[in-house]
Structure 1
Amino acid sequence: MAMGASSGSVSVRMYRGILGDCFLLRHGLDGGAVKHILIDCGVLQGVKNARERMAGIVRDLLETTGGRLDLLVVTHEHHDHLSGFLYERESFQKNFEIAEFWLAWTENPNDPTAVALHERFDKAKQALSALASHAKMAALKDRDFHIRTVMELSAFIGLDEAGRPTGASTLRMLKDKATPARTRYLEPGDVVTPTAIAGLKAYVLGPPRDEKRLRKDLPSRGAAKEVYLSDQADAGAISLHLNQLDNPCVDPCDVPFARPHYRPLETVKQQKPRDRTLTQRLYFDPAESQRQIDDEWYSCAETLALKMDSDTNNTSLVLAFELPDGQVLLFPGDAQVGNWLSWADQTYPRTPDPTQGGALTVDDILARVTLYKVGHHCSHNATLRQLGLEKMTDERLVAMIPVVTQVALDNQWNMPYPDLYDALKTMTKERVVIGDSEIAEETATFMKHQGADKNRPVLDYHPTGLWVEIRITF
């Protein structure tokens, strides 16, 4: 559903070396002014020199845009998509103008479903944040894999010096900067046009309204393959155990058994082995340590951390930008399986208007994707195969992956996921750029299969490797 015969170009700039999303789109019609769209701005907490790297990125953003963001998009409330606004808060508040701000419906403070969702998320985040910032947990990280997972995933939540999540306060700052009048909360099925950018419109594919879709982060192949929205019992259990770490005096109301049956483990641990009962000697036998349940609540914390990570990813705002000639640029944030599946739940727009050419299906949109921002750093469950990538059949398809492989390896994350990475290279004829590539090699591979199409993409890099940019003409 192309909008006309206007010609021009859009350059998609991906900032490198951050294991986070920060994309600047420079859109211009021939003879017109260049307009700027910033989609997310973040680096994973704990990445080496993260703040210095982000300071350089924001300086480049300011130099390139002159301080005017014609459209700002934040896809979801994760540190690796938001932290640039936090680290460079003073610069964004002082030096930048936000003409328009787009967020998902899940961030709308006047939406009852969104408010209820955040209440659940906030309780879980607070419990995990308190756990991750507790002094005793740092010592356990290297010897307990449950706690290690919690500590690693807390980097996506983002904690301040006091151990509190930073995402909500960062979003409030951006909303205040943009003002309510220029902030829009988008729903699946919306077809929207940026106020200040002619020749561009966006199809809003997600996040879904259906809670079953929001819950789903893995393919349906057995009960063990699915993870669901954060269990509030897990959050409560973590809070209880943290209180007991700091205060061994237990409130009788928190003990699941009547007092005659209660046996404080710490008291028994301090006894000499000869003073213990047979049951106690068997329980505390070093050879039986793997069977003890003292710290079983750590696995509860790990489960909650994994759920919170995927639940937040599934609230990602997903945008498909359509250029005047019908090409589509797909930005899915970190959407996981449920979000992707929901794209077929509605048409675009939801209510077809025959005078405007009717409505599109998600298949119509995916078939015209010529640039795909790969979701969640090319992880295993953030790009659908048959219902996603394999429907992106335009021969001009290129892909951009915001990942730093070494950082992923250091955290034992399989990013980029080999099978998906291979599939991307096949679908794009090896025109894939990645956040930590060897530039000369990547350029040679990218240019090898350009073809003769007049709209073929053009690749460019910052002199110091700060960013890579793909220019698409229309």
Structure 2
Amino acid sequence: MANVPTTLTIFAYQVGFGDCFLLRFGYPSGMRHILIDFGTTGLPEDTAADQLTRIARHVAATCGGRLDAVVATHRHADHISGFATNPGGTAPGDIIRKLQPKVVVQPWTEELDLAVDARAPSPQAGFRAALQSMHQVAEKAVGFVNGGPPGLTEALKSQLRFIGEDNLSNKSAVLNLSTMGGEQRYVYHGAKSGLEKTLPGVTIHVLGPPTLEQTGSISRQRSRDPDEFWQFQLRRVKADADASTAAKARPAFPSQVAARGGKLPLGVRWLASRLRQARGEQFLAIVRALDKQMNNTSVILLFETANKKILFPGDGQIENWQYALSQPKTRKLLESVDVYKVGHHGSLNATPRSMWNAFSKKGPKSRKGRMTTVLSTRPDKHGSVEAGTEVPRTTLLNELGAHTDLHSTHLMAHDKLFDQIEIPL
């Protein structure tokens, strides 16, 4: 039948720590192409500097100069930085824009006309004000580190810079996404995806994010007042960041801890260094909470054909998943998933244990129709093995490798542009 896809090809692009997937649904009448995310916050070290441009050109060539849809799961840089533009019109985002996608799908929190106190898509009415303050916190975090505060370990500064930069507002990419499509769809749990006409014969289930009227779980990282927490944190960190930026002097031996103490006696200046380290660790705790909060706005899509189910959850974490998994119908749908794009680059709390245990198609290599998993990640960018927070998480990787057909970009040669995965439908 002309209106039912018979094949799915997934192009998993090498973006290091980030996501970029092109889905090509094959119909007897032709191909349909959907780009899901396009960004990075850390290419592999020996990857070409123009990697995102190369990817954009490959996407353009593969789809024949016309995309059917773009899905930007959330606004973290590792998911949308590739959509950025430049005045000369030569940036990767300019190339994607020229492909004139018919539909652009984003989470409801990205609707630019949404009121700052909105708790759900317009015209319902406070999550958006918090998101704006969160970006300002990220800016302060980057400024704090770049100001060269003495007494911070290199590991702490690296984590602050990485998470802070990932949470910057990515204004160019955000604006490009908001205007590039023929139709803009801002989705939430249970909403129509806007992809129905693009993908005939495919049912698209939007499983996340929920609105704050559906559940408060996605705002659970905030304090009692959901509208004030990030504004409060912004005030809290502003003085530290501004003071750090103002202190431009560099020590003679920058790799060593500088025990500056102002007028403190020489013998107790070590205490000032310890206090500065503690301040940095508190700052890191704030931006980690910010990072998790933004992930909880991620779009979660389940594509269902007559014979296959394909799950793309972006970076949705447990607070995002909680509402979907509370629905018996959704839990039943997820049991028979055939293809799973591993959430949040392989972090443990983005693959809920209850969901993983319920997947019925995982099993040994000898199992016919074994589940396929697809992962885009870079091991050395986020978290630490010592703290048990490394991404991708070793225990999860072991499970994926043992019980599914795992395709991961961190296992690819760095000079390979993409992994091509064929899924018969």
TM range (shorter): 0.7 to 0.9
What is residue 187 of structure 1 aligned with on the other side? 188
Match of 1:427 among 403, 407, 413: 403
Corresponding position of 2:34: 37
Aligned CA-pair RMSD:
3.3
Q: Once the 2 structures are TM-superposed, how far is the Cα of residue 189 of structure 1 from its aligned partner? A: 1.7
Rounded to whole Å, the distance in 2 between the matches of 1:310 and 1:155 is 14
User: 1:381 aligns to what?
Assistant: 349
CA contact (8 A) 1:152 1:411 kept: no
3-state secondary structure, aligned to 2:331: helix
Relative distance call for 1:101 and 1:247 in structure 2 (3 A) is closer
Rounded Cα–Cα distance in structure 1 between residues aligned with 2:279 and 2:152: 17
Q: Deviations over 1:333-379 (max 9, x none)?
A: 001111112113447xxxxxxxxxxxxx1122112210000001101
Gaps of 5+ in 1: 158-164, 218-227, 249-267, 274-280, 348-360, 440-461
Matches within 5 A, 1:341-380: 341-346=322-327, 361-380=329-348
Contact 1:146 1:301 in 2 (8 A): no
Contact 2:15 2:42 in 1 (8 A): no
Aligned-pair CA distance for 1:6? 4.1
What whole-Å deviation, never above 9, does each CA across 1:261-292 have from its counterpart, x for those lacking one? xxxxxxx955484xxxxxxx8xx6145456x6
Which one-letter code corresponds to 2:348 in the other structure? Answer: H
Equivalent residues of 1:229, 1:308 under 8 A apart:
no
> What residue is the counterpart of 1:333 in the other structure?
314
Where 1:176 maps in the other structure, the secondary structure is helix
- Which segment drifts farther, 404-413 or 368-377? 404-413
State how far apart, in whole Å, the 1-side matches of 2:31 and 2:137 are. 45
Q: Equivalent residue for 1:472? A: 423
TM-score, normalised relative to structure 1: 0.72
Contact persistence 2:159–2:382 (CA under 8 A) = no
Partner secondary structure for residue 34 of structure 1: strand
**CA–CA distance in 2 between the matches of 1:367 and 1:269?**
59
**Which stretch shows the higher mean deviation, 69-78 or 292-301?**
292-301
Query: Which residues of 2 match residues 215-294 of structure 1 at below 5 A?
Result: 215-216=219-220, 231-245=230-244, 270-271=262-263, 273=265, 285-286=268-269, 288-289=271-272, 293=275
Change (3 A) 1:470 1:141: farther
285, 309, 313: which one aligns with 2:295: 313
Distance in 2, Cα, partners of 1:20 & 1:126: 22
CA contact under 8 A between 1:142 and 1:148: conserved in structure 2? no
- Which of the pair has more CA radius of gyration? 1
Pairing 1:100–2:103 present: yes
Residue aligning to 1:170: 173
Contact (CA 8 Å) 2:218, 2:296: kept in 1 or not? yes
Cα distance per residue 1:50-108 (max 9 Å; x no partner)? 74111111111011012211111000010110011115133233x31111111111222
Cα distance in 1 for residues equivalent to 2:164 and 2:392: 20
Does residue 324 of structure 1 match 2:306? yes
What is the SS of the residue equivalent to 2:302?
strand
Distance in 2 of aligned mates of 1:405 and 1:272: 42
The question of 1:26 aligning with 2:27 is answered no
More helix by share: 1
Determine the C-alpha separation between the residues in 2 that align with 1:471 and 1:272: 66
Aligned to 2:250: none
Partner Cα distance (1:410, 1:88) in 2:
31
Aligned residues: 382
What SS does the aligned partner of 1:381 have?
A: helix
User: Which whole-Å CA distance do the structure 2 matches of 1:241 and 1:419 have between them?
Assistant: 37
Query: Following the alignment from structure 1 to structure 2, what is the Cα–Cα distance between the partners of residues 96 and 138?
Result: 42
Change (3 A) 1:230 1:418: farther
CA distance in 2, matches of 1:271, 1:139: 18
Q: Look up the SS of the partner of 2:301 in the other structure.
A: strand
Residue in structure 2 matched with residue 405 of structure 1 by the alignment: 379
Residues 280-334 of structure 1, C-alpha deviation per residue, up to 9 Å, x if partnerless? x8xx6145456x6466443332121101100001110000001133x11000000
- So what's the TM-score if we normalise by structure 2? 0.80
Q: Which amino acid aligns with 1:397?
A: M
Residue 450 of structure 1 is matched in structure 2 by none
**Structure 2: how far apart are the matches of 1:43 and 1:141?**
29
Q: Secondary structure at the match of 1:285?
A: helix
Per-residue Cα deviation, 1:425-465 (whole angstroms, up to 9, x for no partner) = 3332xx101102157xxxxxxxxxxxxxxxxxxxxxx9x62
8 Å Cα contact 1:320-1:330 kept in structure 2: yes
Distance in 2 between residues matched to 1:286 and 1:426, nearest whole Å? 52
CA distance in 2, matches of 1:77, 1:25: 20
Over 3 Å counting, the alpha-carbon distance change for 1:287 and 1:6 in structure 2 is: closer
SS at match of 2:391: coil
Deviation at 1:16, TM superposition (A): 2.0
With over 3 angstroms needed to count, the CA separation of the structure-2 counterparts of 1:240 and 1:369, relative to structure 1, is: same
Q: Which amino acid aligns with 2:424?
A: T
Q: Which amino acid aligns with 2:358?
A: K
Secondary structure of 2:30 counterpart: coil
The CA deviation at 1:190 is: 2.8
Task: Report the equivalent of 2:211.
Answer: 209
Structure-1 residue corresponding to 2:358: 391
Q: Kindly state the Cα deviation for residue 473 of structure 1 after the two structures are TM-superposed.
A: 1.5
Aligned to 2:9: 11
C-alpha change, 1:67 and 1:166, in structure 2 (3 Å) is farther
Report Cα offsets for 1:134-181 as digits up to 9, x if no partner: 575446586265444211212322xxxxxxx342441221221215xx
Whole-angstrom CA distance in 2 between matches of 1:470 and 1:272: 62
- AA aligned opposite 2:357: E
